[in-house]
Amino acid sequence: MKISWRILLLWTLPALVIGFFVWQGAFSAGVPNMSQNTASTRMSYGRFLEYLDADRITSVDLFEGGRTAIVQATDPELDNRVQRLRVDLPGNAPELISRLREENVNFDIHPPSTNGAIWGLLGNLIFPVLLIVGLFFLFRRSNNLPGGPGQAMNFGKSRARFSMEAKTGVMFDDVAGIEEAKEELQEVVTFLKKPERFTAVGARIPKGVLLVGPPGTGKTLLAKAIAGEAGVPFFSISGSEFVEMFVGVGASRVRDLFKKAKENAPCIIFIDEIDAVGRQRGAGIGGGNDEREQTLNQLLTEMDGFEGNTGIIIIAATNRPDVLDSALLRPGRFDRQVTVDSPDIKGRLEILNVHARNKKLADEISLEAIARRTPGFTGADLANLLNEAAILTARRRKEAMTMVEIDDAIDRVIAGMEGTPLVDSKSKRLIAYHEVGHALVGTLLKEHDPVQKVTLIPRGQAQGLTWFMPMEEQGLITKSQLMARITGALGGRAAEQVIFGDAEVTTGAGNDLQQVTGMARQMVTRFGMSDLGPLSLETQQGEVFLGRDWMTRSEYSEEIASRIDAQVRAIVEHCYQKACQMMRDNRAVIDRLVDLLIEKESIDGDEFRQLVAEYAEVPEKERYVPII
Ligand code: ADP
Ligand code: MG
Ligand code: ZN
Distance CA 541, CA 522 (A): 10
Q: Please tell me if the CB atom of residue 176 comes closer than 6 angstroms to any atom of ligand 1.
A: yes
Mean of all residue pLDDT scores within the chain: 80
Q: Which residues are catalytic?
A: 435
User: b/e map of 211-230 (b: 16 or more CB within 10 Å)?
Assistant: bbbeebbbbbbbbbbbbbbb
Residue 309 has pLDDT above 80, yes or no: no
pLDDT band at 141 (very low <50, low <70, confident <90, very high): low
Q: Please tell me if the CB atom of residue 523 comes closer than 6 angstroms to any atom of ligand 1.
A: no
Residue 355 has pLDDT above 90, yes or no: yes
Q: What is the pLDDT of residue 441?
A: 96
What are the pLDDT digits (tens) for 162-218? Answer: 777 878 889 999 999 888 888 888 888 888 888 888 888 888 788 889 999 999 999
**Domain edge (last residue) among 339, 363, 383:** 339
Q: Please tell me if the CB atom of residue 495 comes closer than 6 angstroms to any atom of ligand 1.
A: no
Domain presence at residue 141: no
Q: Are residues 461 and 605 in the same domain?
A: yes
- Ligand 1 atom nearest to 174, measured from its CA: 25
- Ligand 1 atom nearest to 350, measured from its CA: 24
Ligand in closest contact with the CA of 223: 1
258 against 25, higher pLDDT: 258
Q: How far is the CA of 492 from the centre of ligand 3 (A)?
A: 5
Question: Which range has highest mean pLDDT (3-7, 279-283, 434-438)?
Answer: 434-438
Q: Are residues 432 and 297 in the same domain?
A: no
Residue 17 has pLDDT above 50, yes or no: no
Sequential DSSP letters for 114-183: HHHHHHHHHHHHHHHHHHHHHHHHHHHHGGGSTTSHHHHHTTTT-----EEES-----GGG--S-HHHHH
Domain presence at residue 11: no
**What is the domain range of residue 215?**
161-339
Residue 57 has pLDDT above 60, yes or no: yes
Q: What is the pLDDT of residue 405?
A: 92
Ligand in closest contact with the CA of 171: 1
Distance CA 435, CA 391 (A): 30
Domain presence at residue 149: no
Phi, psi dihedral angles at 300 (to 5 degrees): -65, -40
SS (H, E, C) 55-69: CCEEEEEEEHHHCEE
pLDDT band at 612 (very low <50, low <70, confident <90, very high): very high
Domain presence at residue 132: no
Domain presence at residue 363: yes
The residues whose Cβ lies within 5 A of ligand 3, an ion, are 492, 512
Taking each helix axis as running N to C, give the angle between helix 426-444 and helix 558-585, from 0 to 180 degrees, rounded to the nearest 10: 100
Residue bearing the CA closest to ligand 1, atom 11: 380
Question: Which of 24-38, 142-156, 365-379 has the least mean pLDDT?
Answer: 24-38
Q: Please tell me if the CB atom of residue 383 comes closer than 6 angstroms to any atom of ligand 1.
A: yes
Distance CA 246, CA 240 (A): 14
**Domain edge (last residue) among 358, 382, 415:** 415
Q: How far is the CA of 500 from the centre of ligand 3 (A)?
A: 16
Q: Please tell me if the CB atom of residue 221 comes closer than 6 angstroms to any atom of ligand 1.
A: yes
* pTM value surpassing 0.85: no
Evaluate whether 354 touches 176 at the Cβ level (below 8 Å).
Answer: yes
Q: Are residues 358 and 322 in the same domain?
A: no
pLDDT band at 22 (very low <50, low <70, confident <90, very high): very low
CA 252 to chain centre: 26
Q: Are residues 193 and 209 in the same domain?
A: yes
Q: What is the pLDDT of residue 489?
A: 96
Q: 287 vs 26, 266, 275, 337, CA distance in Å? A: 56, 39, 17, 28
DSSP state of 462: B
What are the pLDDT digits (tens) for 422-481? Answer: 887 888 999 999 999 999 999 999 999 899 899 998 888 888 899 988 766 667 888 999
Beta-strand pair 106-109/208-212: unpaired
Q: Are residues 515 and 589 in the same domain?
A: yes
Q: Are residues 454 and 487 in the same domain?
A: yes
CATH number assigned to the domain comprising residue 352: 1.10.8.60
Ligand in closest contact with the CA of 506: 3
Residue 31 has pLDDT above 50, yes or no: no
Q: Please tell me if the CB atom of residue 216 comes closer than 6 angstroms to any atom of ligand 1.
A: yes
Distance CA 551, CA 554 (A): 9
Q: Are residues 373 and 312 in the same domain?
A: no
Residue 117 has pLDDT above 70, yes or no: no
CATH number assigned to the domain comprising residue 560: 1.20.58.760
Distance CA 608, CA 112 (A): 95
Q: Are residues 101 and 39 in the same domain?
A: yes
- Ligand 1 atom nearest to 215, measured from its CA: 4
Q: Are residues 360 and 335 in the same domain?
A: no
Ligand in closest contact with the CA of 218: 1
Distance CA 590, CA 444 (A): 12
> Side by side, which strands form the sheet with 208-212?
163-165, 234-238, 267-272, 312-318, 208-212, 336-339
Evaluate whether 230 touches 193 at the Cβ level (below 8 Å).
Answer: yes
Q: What is the pLDDT of residue 13?
A: 47
Question: Which of 245-254, 351-360, 385-394 has the least mean pLDDT?
Answer: 245-254
- Ligand 1 atom nearest to 317, measured from its CA: 2
Least Cα distance to 520 among 473, 575, 468, 561 occurs for: 575
Q: How far is the CA of 385 from the centre of ligand 1 (A)?
A: 13
Q: What is the pLDDT of residue 534?
A: 87
Burial class of 615 by CB neighbour count within 10 A (0 to 12, 13 to 18, 19+): middle
pLDDT band at 48 (very low <50, low <70, confident <90, very high): confident
Residue 148 has pLDDT above 50, yes or no: no
> Side by side, which strands form the sheet with 602-604?
465-468, 451-455, 602-604
Q: Please tell me if the CB atom of residue 223 comes closer than 6 angstroms to any atom of ligand 1.
A: no
Residue 586 has pLDDT above 70, yes or no: yes
Q: What is the pLDDT of residue 113?
A: 58
Q: How far is the CA of 275 from the centre of ligand 1 (A)?
A: 19
What are the pLDDT digits (tens) for 521-576? Answer: 999 988 999 988 888 877 654 444 444 444 445 567 888 889 999 999 999 999 99
CATH number assigned to the domain comprising residue 212: 3.40.50.300
Residue 392 has pLDDT above 80, yes or no: yes
Q: What is the pLDDT of residue 544?
A: 42
Phi, psi dihedral angles at 518 (to 5 degrees): -60, -45
Least Cα distance to 164 among 289, 71, 257, 64 occurs for: 257
Task: State how many domains the chain has.
Answer: 4
Domain presence at residue 400: yes
Q: Are residues 382 and 489 in the same domain?
A: no
Residue 151 has pLDDT above 50, yes or no: no
Residue 330 has pLDDT above 90, yes or no: no
Rounded percentage of the chain residues whose pLDDT exceeds 70: 80
Q: Are residues 431 and 506 in the same domain?
A: yes
Q: Please tell me if the CB atom of residue 178 comes closer than 6 angstroms to any atom of ligand 1.
A: yes
Q: Is the dihedral of CA 299, 304, 305, 307 positive or negative?
A: positive
Q: Are residues 369 and 482 in the same domain?
A: no
Residue 99 has pLDDT above 90, yes or no: no
Q: Please tell me if the CB atom of residue 464 comes closer than 6 angstroms to any atom of ligand 1.
A: no
- Ligand 1 atom nearest to 224, measured from its CA: 6
Domain presence at residue 591: yes
Ligand in closest contact with the CA of 377: 1
Q: How far is the CA of 164 from the centre of ligand 1 (A)?
A: 19
Best probe residue, ligand 1, of 168, 173, 221, 222 (max atoms within 8 Å of C-beta): 221
Partners of 165 in beta bridges: 234
417 against 446, higher pLDDT: 446
Q: How far is the CA of 299 from the centre of ligand 1 (A)?
A: 26
**Domain edge (last residue) among 339, 374, 402:** 339
Q: How far is the CA of 177 from the centre of ligand 1 (A)?
A: 11
Domain presence at residue 618: no
151 against 202, higher pLDDT: 202
Evaluate whether 627 touches 368 at the Cβ level (below 8 Å).
Answer: yes
SS (H, E, C) 356-395: HCCCCECCCCCHHHHHHHCCCCCHHHHHHHHHHHHHHHHH
Residue bearing the CA closest to ligand 1, atom 9: 218
User: What residue type is 431 in one-letter code?
Assistant: I
Q: Which residues 6+ apart lie within 8 Å of 600 measured at CB?
A: none
3-state secondary structure of 248: coil
Q: Please tell me if the CB atom of residue 182 comes closer than 6 angstroms to any atom of ligand 1.
A: no
Mean pLDDT of 23-28: 36
Residue 516 has pLDDT above 90, yes or no: yes
Q: Which residues 6+ apart lie within 8 Å of 299 measured at CB?
A: 242, 254, 277, 278, 328
pLDDT band at 518 (very low <50, low <70, confident <90, very high): very high
- Ligand 1 atom nearest to 176, measured from its CA: 24
CATH number assigned to the domain comprising residue 99: 3.30.720.210
